[in-house]
Amino acid sequence: MRRAVIAIVAFAILAAAPAAADGLNAERVRALVERGEILALEEILKRNEASLGGRIIEIEIEQKRGAYVYEIKVLRPDGRYHELKIDARTGALMREE
């Protein structure tokens, strides 16, 4: 149930505003998912659940060097800020900060 709520909230955040200055809005992201060019946010969250370790506070998707990258910002229980960069095509964790 908690995962479903996180996925719904995260999708709402993603759909509410353009994700990046390069014009990646919710409609364009949806089209990329439908064409199979990137994974849906729900799948990204499911594949990286163990790495999240806190409350999601922001999600963005950007195009960097021709690749789409989900940036997920998390507030951990100890109050520290954590950011994950995830390959939107494969769901692979690229970097943690």
d(CA 42, CA 77): 22
Instruction: Answer whether 0.85 is exceeded by the pTM.
Output: no
- What structural domains does the chain harbor? 2-96 (3.10.450.40)
pLDDT tens per residue across span 19-67: 444 558 889 999 999 999 999 999 999 999 888 889 999 999 999 888 9
pLDDT score, position 64: 86
Other CB atoms within 10 Å distance of the CB of residue 61: 24
pLDDT score, position 20: 43
Other CB atoms within 10 Å distance of the CB of residue 33: 16
Tokens read off for 52: 């999240």
Tokens read off for 14: 């993603």
